[in-house]
Amino acid sequence: MSEALDEMYLFGEEKMEKAIGQMKKEFATVRTGRANPGILDRVIVDYYGAPTPIRQMAQVSVSEGTTLVITPFDKSILKDVEKAVIKAELGVTPNNDGVCIRLNFPPLTEERRRETAKDVKKYGEDAKIAIRNARRDMVDSLKKIEKDENLPEDVVKDNQDKIQKLTDKYVGIVDSQVAEKEKEVMTV
């Protein structure tokens, strides 16, 4: 196999891996029935003029499965952390006790679970679109390589099949992870 084909596969597979990585990041911010520190990944606090992720300036722990406890390393920023949590619209009200901030996550209603499951499907669909775009780029590269290196027809056909198998593998990963996350969301 030519170097250009190897490069094409590496680049294409890397794009597909990134699509799955992005989907997993999105999943971490999805609210399920349990408290998950990942939901705070999008919360940014203005810390002495610099936007700082909350998890870099505070210890975040889960208490009793439904409560997140945020304990800032610097107690003087409790109010700033509280404001950032409110601004992030997580769907919970922060309770500031002067030492730490507690976020109590009430159990999700059936309707909210269904909405969340739809969000999970959307994230999965976005990942599939990115994977199909990577496939398209690989097929375009294959056509260019075919033209440049004058590849035989059977080699081109074999590589097209290989590209499709790679795409199917990653789409299968997305489907299984979406199903797993949906099950997690729908479990009471």
Residue extents of the structural domains in the chain: 3-28+109-186, 37-104
**Length, in residues, of the chain:** 188
2, 103 in Cβ contact below 8 A? no
Pick the CATH number of 37-104 from 3.40.50.300, 3.30.1360.40, 3.40.47.10, 3.30.9.100: 3.30.1360.40
CATH 1.10.132.20 applies to domain 3-28+109-186 = yes
- For 49-91, the DSSP string reads TEEEEGGGTEEEEEETTTEEEEEESSGGGHHHHHHHHHHTT-S
Cα–Cα distance between 140 and 146 in angstroms, integer? Answer: 10
Using only the alpha carbons of the chain, give its radius of gyration. 22
* pLDDT tens series, the chain, 188 aa: 578 888 999 999 999 999 999 999 888 777 776 777 877 888 888 888 888 888 888 888 888 878 889 898 888 888 888 888 888 877 788 888 888 989 888 777 888 888 889 999 999 999 999 999 999 999 999 999 888 888 888 988 999 999 999 999 999 999 999 999 998 888 76
